[in-house]
Amino acid sequence: MTQDAPSNRVRRAWIGPLLSTLLTLPTAFFALVGAALSLMSCDSCTQAQAARFSPSFDTAFTVFLYGLVIPAVLLLAAWPLPRRRRHAARRTLLATLAPLSVLALYPLFTGLVGWP
b/e map 65-92, b = 16+ CB within 10 Å: eebbeebeebbebbbebeeeeeeeeebe
What is the model's pLDDT at position 36? 96
Q: Give me the pLDDT at residue 22, please.
A: 97
Number of neighbours of residue 56 by Cβ within 10 angstroms: 13
Distance CA 95, CA 76 (A): 9
* Cα 65 from Cα 59, distance rounded (Å): 10
- pLDDT reported for residue 2: 53
Residues 21 and 75 sit within 8 Å (Cβ to Cβ)? yes
Residue 6 reports pLDDT greater than 80:
no
Q: What is the pLDDT of residue 85?
A: 85
pLDDT tens readout for residues 10-68: 788 889 999 999 999 999 999 999 999 999 998 898 999 999 999 999 999 999 999 99
Q: Of 74, 72, 67, 68, whose CA–CA distance to 95 is shortest?
A: 74
Q: Tell me what the mean pLDDT of segment 80-92 comes to.
A: 87
- Residue among 30, 16, 20 at smallest CA distance from 71: 20
Give the pLDDT of residue 87: 85
Taking the chain, what is the end-to-end CA distance rounded to the nearest angstrom? Answer: 64
Q: Are 107 and 38 in contact (CB under 8 A)?
A: no
